[in-house]
Amino acid sequence: MHGPEFIRANTKLLPVPLAPEICLHLAEESLPIWRKTEEELGLINVPPPYWAFAWAGGQALARYILDNSVAVAGAHVLDLGSGSGLTAIAAMRAGARRVLAADIDALALAAIDLNAAANSVAVEATREDLLAAMPNDVGRGFDVVLVGDLFYERTLADRVLVYIESARANGADILVGDPRRSYFPKERFRQVMEYAVPVTRELEDAEIKRAAVWRLAA
């Protein structure tokens, strides 16, 4: 079974709770699809299928973009660690000129394509590990960099912070959606907006998660 068929068979096209104008192919439970992902790829201990869920930070960032289209209208936008493509889709819906969704998970790229089509927008996607780029090249060609829920692991959080600080130095505006996860360096950001986000207790520690949109300080 190829990526798109696997996603269609194991998810449902559902509205995003905080941004119901966007529908995504979402899993209703985490463990079954995680196991099926291992079977699909023929591997064990694969990373969780982050692309199959609408995480709190991504929902907050999508809501902010949809309500404040001036943040991305006419812009070249990078959605880093895109997952389902939620914030990339929101940016296109809000009038971005071009959006590149980046994720190193092959199934995420398939999900991004399916979700973009379901919402009648065109989103480019890449599996390239952009975090490995040289500092002088980071963010080149992008006016805005979006980051949703990438500060959950120390090593990843450190790499993301280096990347977005380089992108900021190269002229990009950095918007992050995050519910103050363990490794989120909030002292480097200023809060723009906060939301009460409906989530599932299976994935989070509450059914309503406080998540904010943050801008990386100059």
In a domain, 39, yes or no: no
Residue 82 backbone dihedrals phi, psi, to 5 degrees? -65, -30
Q: Which of 30-44, 47-61, 182-196 has the lowest mean pLDDT?
A: 30-44
CB contact at 8 A, 210 and 196: yes
Instruction: Pick the closest to residue 28 from 8, 52, 45, 2 (CA basis).
Output: 52
Provide the 10 A C-beta neighbour count for residue 156.
Answer: 14
The pLDDT of 158-164, averaged and rounded, is 96
In a domain, 11, yes or no: no
Range of the domain at 90: 54-216
CATH code of 77's domain: 3.40.50.150
Statement: residue 139 has pLDDT above 80: no
pLDDT band at residue 37, thresholds of 50, 70 and 90? low
In a domain, 150, yes or no: yes
Statement: residue 33 has pLDDT above 90: no
Statement: residue 190 has pLDDT above 70: yes
**Bridge partners of residue 145, in order along the sequence:** 78, 174
In a domain, 137, yes or no: yes
In a domain, 76, yes or no: yes
In a domain, 37, yes or no: no
In a domain, 159, yes or no: yes
Q: How many domains does the chain have?
A: 1
In a domain, 155, yes or no: yes
